[in-house]
């Protein structure tokens, strides 16, 4: 198998309820890969499966080696960062304390301080609000905190679960532009799960459409966007 992240025959679910029925997927190093699909298709479950939060069968390899099963901390140590649905920021902690949580396994204090400054470079508003409780921020700013916290782990692969949820379109666009900048500047591979297909396809390199636990379609983001039939039947775009 080639590719940076390779997923083959991945099955997963909750107890007796099976959700993923043999997902095959390849993500190349340095790309932004979109996972699209309707509510309930299994997008969140796929990210949970990739980062070891739920039981799976099948193969998940990162940079040529199998990722550990059912051990999220071991997966994180391999360089996989997950920003879950709903962000998971700590509301009573300040912005900067939230960022430090992302670096809790690191002992290189000077490098952590430099990385926090780098996050403030990407998200200047967070620098201004560094001493404020995260819970007092807007939805978009909280999503920035969640992203920044993930970056503090110095990941090689960033898994983002519906960062646009609850955000106004302009805020989403701003957020996606920063994700693109981070992806380019740090050669960080990004898997971006979204229901907001139209905007996501503007930013992604490739897209995979998940439908009832299987990949129904894969292609270059531009091709997926240009295909009317695909747009209508899978993505709810167009007439
Ligand atoms: N914690 C859970 N326990 C049981 N079933 C779940 C759980 N989370 C999700 N599911 C079910 O798994 C299916 C896929 O959900 P999910 O992965 O959240 O889809 P998506 O993120 O694409 O909306 C749905 O039928 C959902 O009800
Ligand atoms: Mg979801």
Q: What is the mean pLDDT of the chain?
A: 93
Distance 40 CA to ligand 2 centre (A): 7
Q: Is residue 16 part of a domain?
A: yes
Please write the tens of the pLDDT for every residue from 43-62. Answer: 999 999 999 999 999 999 99
Mutational pocket test of ligand 1: of 44, 56, 209, 214, the residue with most ligand atoms within 8 Å of the beta carbon: 44
Parent domain of 15: 1-79+157-239
pLDDT at 154: 94
User: In this structure, which residue's CA is closest to atom 18 in ligand 1?
Assistant: 44
User: Ligand 1 site: residues with CB under 6 angstroms?
Assistant: 14, 17, 19, 37, 39-45
Q: Domain ends where: 154, 172, 195?
A: 154
For residue 51, count other CB atoms closer than 10 A to its CB: 22
How do residues 167-224 score in pLDDT, each as one tens digit?
999 999 999 999 999 999 999 999 999 988 889 999 999 999 999 999 999 999 999 8
Looking at the structure, tell me whether residues 64 and 181 fall in a common domain.
yes
Is pTM beyond 0.85? Reply is yes
With beta carbons less than 8 A apart as the criterion, state whether 102 and 112 touch. no
Structural domain ending residue among the three candidates 154, 169, 187? 154
């Amino acid at each position: 198998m080639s590719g940076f992240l390779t997923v083959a025959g991945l099955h997963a679910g909750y107890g007796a309820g099976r959700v993923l029925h043999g997902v095959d997927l390849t993500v190349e190093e340095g790309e932004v890969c979109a996972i699209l699909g309707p509510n309930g298709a299994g997008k969140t479950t796929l990210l949970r499966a990739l980062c070891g939060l739920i039981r799976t069968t099948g193969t998940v390899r990162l940079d040529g080696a199998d990722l550990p099963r059912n051990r999220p901390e071991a997966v994180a140590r391999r360089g996989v960062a997950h920003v879950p649905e709903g962000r998971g920021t700590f509301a009573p902690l300040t912005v900067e304390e939230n960022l430090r949580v992302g670096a809790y396994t690191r002992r290189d204090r000077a490098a952590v301080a430099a990385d926090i400054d780098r996050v403030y470079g990407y998200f200047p508003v967070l620098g201004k609000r560094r001493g404020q409780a995260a819970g007092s921020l807007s939805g978009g700013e909280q999503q920035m905190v969640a992203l920044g916290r993930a970056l503090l782990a110095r990941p090689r692969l960033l898994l983002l679960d519906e960062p646009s949820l609850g955000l106004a379109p302009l805020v989403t666009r701003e957020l996606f532009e920063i994700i693109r900048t981070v992806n380019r500047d740090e050669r960080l591979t990004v898997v971006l799960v979204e229901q907001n297909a139209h905007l996501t396809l503007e930013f992604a390199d490739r897209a995979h459409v998940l439908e009832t636990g299987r990949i129904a379609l894969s292609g270059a983001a531009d091709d997926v966007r240009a295909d009317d039939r695909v747009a209508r039947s899978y993505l709810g775009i167009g007439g």
